[in-house]
Amino acid sequence: MRSQSDGAKHNSVYGHIAPCARMTKTAAMLIAVLLAIPVFVILSVVDWVFL
């Protein structure tokens, strides 16, 4: 096994060392859209009902 003296985290899969997965810009955008749509709907309903 390799030592991790460089401070980076690695995963060992089938004896091979691989860097940890990172979130891509596409995944970040997908999460943002999936959160924004329900928030928009909820705020619109609250605005319609109470104002």
Residue 41 lies in a domain: yes
In a domain, 29, yes or no: yes
5 or 39, which is more confident: 39
Long-range contacts of 37-45 (CB under 8 A, 24+ apart): none
* DSSP assigned state of 12: E
pLDDT by residue (tens digit) across 32-48? Answer: 999 999 999 999 999 99
Answer yes or no: is 40 within a domain.
yes
Report the pLDDT value the prediction gives residue 34, as an integer from 0 to 100: 97
The total number of structural domains that make up the chain: 1
Average pLDDT, the chain: 83
Q: Which domain holds residue 40?
A: 22-51
Residue 9, pLDDT above cutoff 60: yes
**Is there a domain that residue 3 lies in?**
no
Residue 23: predicted pLDDT: 81
Tell me if 38 is assigned to some domain: yes
